[in-house]
Amino acid sequence: MKKHTLYGIMILLSAFIISSCNKNKIEQTKHIPKDATFVLSISPSSIYEKLKDHKDQLDSVVKIFSERVHVSDSSKKSGEALLGAINKTQPVFFFVQTKNSIAEGNSVMSGTVVALSDGNKFEDFIKKQSANSVISKDNGISFTDIKDGVIGWNNKIAIFLFNIGNSNALESKTQLESLFDLKESESLADNKSFTSSFNATSDISFYANYSQSLSSVPFLAMTKASDLVKDMYYAGTLNFNDGSIDINATGYPNATLLDLIKKNPAPELDGKTFENYPDKPLGIFDFSLNLKQVIGILNYIGVDQMIEPFLTKQGLSFDDVAAAFKGEIVVAVSNFQMKQQTIPGYNMTTSTPSVDFLVKLPIADKKAYDKIVNTLAKLGLFVAKNGQLVPAVLAQEGDGSIAYVANNDAVFVASSPTLIDNVVSGKNHSSLPDDITKNIKGKTSYFYVDIQSLLGNIPVKESDDSALLSVSKNTFKDFSAWGNTISGKSQSGEAHIKFVDTKQNSLISLLTFIQSMKTAADKYKPVISIADSSANDMNTNIPVPPTVDTTK
């Protein structure tokens, strides 16, 4: 996305320095389209409580953004001027509206909406930022064109609208006027799915409704698939807590899709798949999927009529596919390292990433699996190797870098046969951390990355690289996310970024990390500048070699 202009940035950053939040009806939502695809709001009071004793970190972030947009005025001074004009009791909203139409094509509108306490002070702020600002007034609304967009305001509301794609200032102004003239019935304030899920007490709240844009996608529009995405939306919160950033989200499928899901629900994960893994995984992905559920959805939208004739011709059916596998997909990654290799014929070495990995697909019915594989072998997609049928693409790997084994319990694809043997036999297995074991059980999906261990295996040669790596290692611990089973009419999920410092608020840790990275990046600028200058000074007028008489 384009770099934000000073005005958009100051509107965003001002929300971080505000001390209270009004939970009454939110006026800003009356100026956001009812069918907005994505909406994000920041709670000023909540953010301020976590930053009030650490304003230096906030000032440093303001400075970074100011430099990126070439602001000559002091960012702190500009921020103070804006604070005198905005309503300090209201959240700041960011929204995106996307529309897809076969007849009219795609369109995108994106903007920021902030409440004002004094429209005149806001206008003074705009004028001070640029002496050349041309402000027009129409029906009590002031407008001015700015880099990357246009901004409009009255005594209550300021709206910054970004230029996106091929849109120009005139088009943006027309869109801006329409937002000020929105009827409440056409605005987000009248969107029950948003108002019922919006959480004003969280640090950040978000709402996503892609049903309209998805239903206009040609494939979906021409099938009953559009029925499945109609009125579907997601809502969630993000909070900066001590030692972690915690995200909670809930999806709300419509009644048609919900019924198809509940007829064949995905089984819960038990975490036992990883009990025999020989090493502590750096990364885990475990996903549960009921294949009968997928087939039911394909049947509903009518795609099965295109696939089933092919399966029937091969002597297969959807029932064979559903019976063969349990529907669980398991991926584990460990022992990541950078190996030094010498390039043959050259006196130099290179670093090559090396990692152990395992993919496991539990088998429900071995006879059904064999039937499918034998059919694929007739089509040349599977070939015989080491006494069993394996995918042809893997059989072509002459170095055996990827191993494939299918027994009565599961299909295994791994970085080595030894890893598969250890998993099957249970040799040298290591226990998973308790928090992983606890969080994976009863879920329908789980994802985990051990950031600390991953960064610890990355070698560094330069001191600056070492400093960057050290900052990252001293900041982030791990990342995990999971999805829960369907409950009632919704399905929830969580994501957590854990930090090394468990006592410090994660927002402070994140801001400190950003500033440290900025400081480290600034050290590279002189080096890059010198390198560019040297390259420009090089004489590239290389003489043409003389003609060689090859007849002698």
Q: Which two three-digit tokens encode residue 276?
A: 């025999």
Whether pLDDT at 70 is above 50: no
Question: Which residues lie across from 162 on neighbouring strands?
Answer: 110, 149
Phi, psi of 7 (to 5 degrees): -70, -45
Q: Tokens 């409580």, residue?
A: 49
**Parent domain of 51:** 6-197
- Whether residue 522 is contained in a domain is answered as no
pLDDT for res 542: 39
Q: Which amino acid is at 175?
A: Q
- Could you tell me what percent of the chain has a pLDDT over 90? 41
Q: Which two three-digit tokens encode residue 431?
A: 């226990």
The per-residue pLDDT for range 40-64, each reduced to its tens digit, is 998 877 887 888 777 776 665 555 4
3-state secondary structure 421-442: HHHHHCCCCCCCCHHHHHHHCC
Confidence of residue 464 (pLDDT cuts 50, 70, 90): low
The per-residue pLDDT for range 152-193, each reduced to its tens digit, is 999 999 998 886 655 566 677 888 889 999 999 999 999 999
Neighbour count for residue 140 (Cβ, 10 Å) = 9
Whether pLDDT at 541 is above 70: no
- From the number of C-beta atoms within 10 Å of its C-beta (0-12, 13-18, 19+), residue 58 rates as buried
- Could you tell me what percent of the chain has a pLDDT over 70? 78
Neighbour count for residue 289 (Cβ, 10 Å) = 17
- Whether residue 157 is contained in a domain is answered as yes
- Whether residue 78 is contained in a domain is answered as yes
- Whether residue 91 is contained in a domain is answered as yes
The answer, as to whether pTM is greater than 0.85, is no
Confidence of residue 249 (pLDDT cuts 50, 70, 90): very high
The per-residue pLDDT for range 294-334, each reduced to its tens digit, is 999 999 988 888 888 888 999 999 999 999 999 999 999 99
Distance CA 182, CA 341 (A): 64
Q: Which two three-digit tokens encode residue 59?
A: 């000032």
Neighbour count for residue 265 (Cβ, 10 Å) = 14
Distance CA 510, CA 167 (A): 35
- Give me the sign of the Cα torsion angle 133, 136, 140, 146: negative
- Whether residue 349 is contained in a domain is answered as no
CB neighbour list of residue 194: distance below 8 Å, 6 or more residues apart: 29, 39, 188, 207, 209, 233, 235
Count up the domains in the chain and report the number. Answer: 1
Residue ranges with strand state E in 184-301: 204-208, 233-241, 244-252, 283-288
Q: Which two three-digit tokens encode residue 201?
A: 């007490």
- 146 or 528, which is more confident? 146
- The kind and range of the H/E element at 94 are strand 92-101
CB neighbour list of residue 475: distance below 8 Å, 6 or more residues apart: 499, 500, 501, 509, 510, 512, 513
Q: Which two three-digit tokens encode residue 440?
A: 């994976």
- Whether residue 311 is contained in a domain is answered as no
Out of 30-39, 213-222, 532-541, least confident range: 532-541
pLDDT for res 538: 44
Confidence of residue 102 (pLDDT cuts 50, 70, 90): low
Task: Tell me how far CA of residue 425 lies from CA of 6, 40, 428, in angstroms.
Answer: 61, 49, 9
- Whether residue 24 is contained in a domain is answered as yes
- Whether residue 550 is contained in a domain is answered as no
Confidence of residue 216 (pLDDT cuts 50, 70, 90): low
N-to-C CA span, the chain:
63
Average pLDDT over residues 504-529: 77
Confidence of residue 71 (pLDDT cuts 50, 70, 90): very low
Average pLDDT over residues 102-117: 80
